[in-house]
Amino acid sequence: MARILITSAIPYINGIKHLGNLVGSQLPADLYARYMRARGNEVMFICATDEHGTPAELAAAKAGMPVADYCAEMHEVQANLAAGFRLSFDHFGRSSSGRNHRLTQHFAKALGENGLIGEVAEKQVFSVADNRFLPDRYIEGTCPNCGYDKARGDQCENCTKQLDPTDLINPRSAISGSTELEVRETKHLYLKQKSLRGDLAKWIDAKADWPILTTSIAKKWLNDGDGLQDRGITRDLAWGVPVQFDGAPWQGMEGKVFYVWFDAPIEYIAATAEWADAREEQDSAWERWWRTDKGADDVRYVQFMGKDNVPFHTLSFPATIMGSREPWKLVDYIKSFNYLNYDGGQFSTSQGRGVFMDQALSILPADYWRWWLLSHAPENADSEFTWENFQTSVNKDLADVLGNFVSRITKFCRSKYGEEVPAGGETGERAAALIEELETRLRAYEAHMDAMEIRKAATELRTIWVAGNEYLQAAAPWTVFKEEPERAAAMVRLGLNLIRLYAILSEPFIPDASAKMLHAMKCDDKTWPGSVAEALAALKPGHPFETPEVLFAKIADEEREEWQQRFSGVRT
């Protein structure tokens, strides 16, 4: 049994996330966590809401709420939506937690003691109209790299280039829209990332198994242009982790907070500590996942995130960990994703474009969305959501293949043998060939899941479903029954066992349908199959079952057209 630590990108608190956010981190992380648990491994799956910084303040101001109240409310909203999509977090924490405050201050203190934090006087944009400095996301303007006119002051979401607010062309306040901006001097703490360049380069070079997307982005920011730069880790904001240690402010940094991208990744550790606190466990319960001197040396740590988050998780957060000179666990594998676009455009939280998580669940159950998103995950290139493709995938894959198989075999058995697994007969050569094929496909499916090749795994799983349909069609027990009811019974018995097998293999992708199939088969045993032959003999003659309701309803053309029209505009 292996120990697997899994984290997905921490979503900002500022509103409900869209399907592109979901498939770019949390959903594939859940797929992997469910699979690893099914294989008997010990899994710790951690996520949280990212509650500090400009997005939280701006969203709270727009909602007319105190920022702390807004964050508490939106954390509950996001936790409920995660549950709605069946995301199986062991803990869904909050970056505003006391644990994260203390850990962030601890890391900053360690970095300072190791000479890796310096105080820098810098020029920042000041809004006369707002009477405040405007760091990072408080400023919008045109990206100097790609020309995108809604780039933020920390990063361009179009080309992913990391920016400083003063880099923007034609900048404006994100608070008031005012262009009455001045550049004034202020002081901030900087993490001396350049001092750690050698350590980071050696670490990244050793990760030969990382996806090309991950390593290419990491090396680009490590080496391109002037290479890795020192990074500011404080901001002139009121909401966040105060820049203080042991209760005393860092001299000259009074009234400032740590930059959200400094404290947010530390929440992975803090959220695991929150998990232990909720269970009234000792610190050793979470330290065994994160400290190599407390047992984390045998943990495999896997992160899931969109490509725009890769620079921070391959450079800035590892620099924080390495620079502390303490025995913290570094990530072993980063599974990164390209973008999922929406029906000819882009998903955008800031502009409300696309289908959002709450809207998705209001029209269809989670499994419909999980299946399409995972089977079309943007692993090697950007992919695009279209309503036509979604309808086709749901109707053909889920309804016609899996749902139809379950319905046909259970209804036929009920009508001819009753709702018990029938006895008698031999399965024959056709069944032997099916078992041999499924054995090969099961091993391929496992290999793809182990390698986090999500689209390939989905394709293999669908092929496993198809094989059962093809067997049923060729064996035709409804025809055989007329002359040889015992031989037909053996075919039906095999088919009922296939339902159980499909439920177990499909659970990481479509957990609700899996649970319905297992419930129908009156089976609590979800043990991952050692061999297909054993799995297809698990339900013995006389074992009761129920004929389930339709697993997946088809999407009608009228529904597709109505949804396409409903979600074509800007969300308000």
| Token representation of residue 75 | 């954390």
Tell me what pLDDT residue 124 has.
82
Domain boundaries, the chain: 3-105+261-383, 115-195+206-249, 386-535
Question: What are the beta bridge partners of residue 140?
Answer: 152, 172
Question: Reduced to 3 states, what is the DSSP secondary structure of residue 337?
Answer: strand
Is 159 annotated among the ligand-binding residues? yes
Tell me what pLDDT residue 225 has.
66
Q: How many helices (H) and strands (E) in the chain?
A: 22, 19
Quickly list DSSP for 489-506.
HHHHHHHHHHHHHHHHHH
Tell me what pLDDT residue 571 has.
47
Tell me what pLDDT residue 572 has.
46
What is the topology classification, in CATH, of domain 115-195+206-249? Methionyl-trna Synthetase; domain 2 (2.170.220)
Burial (CB count <10 Å: 0-12, 13-18, 19+), residue 299: buried
What is the topology classification, in CATH, of domain 386-535? Isoleucyl-tRNA Synthetase; Domain 1 (1.10.730)
Of 550, 564, 560, the closest CA to residue 520 belongs to 550
Tell me what pLDDT residue 125 has.
85
Tell me what pLDDT residue 158 has.
87
Structurally, at CATH architecture level, domain 3-105+261-383 sits in 3-Layer(aba) Sandwich (3.40)
| CA–CA distance, 29 with 256 (Å, rounded to integer) | 34
Is 349 annotated among the ligand-binding residues? yes
pTM of the full structure: 0.92
pLDDT in tens, 194-230: 999 999 999 999 999 999 999 999 999 998 766 789 9
Look up residue 309 and give its DSSP letter: G
What residues of the chain score a pLDDT lower than 70? 225-226, 348-353, 569-572
Is 47 annotated among the ligand-binding residues? no
| Token representation of residue 316 | 């800035």
User: Residue 15: left (phi > 0), alpha (psi -120 to 50), or beta?
Assistant: left
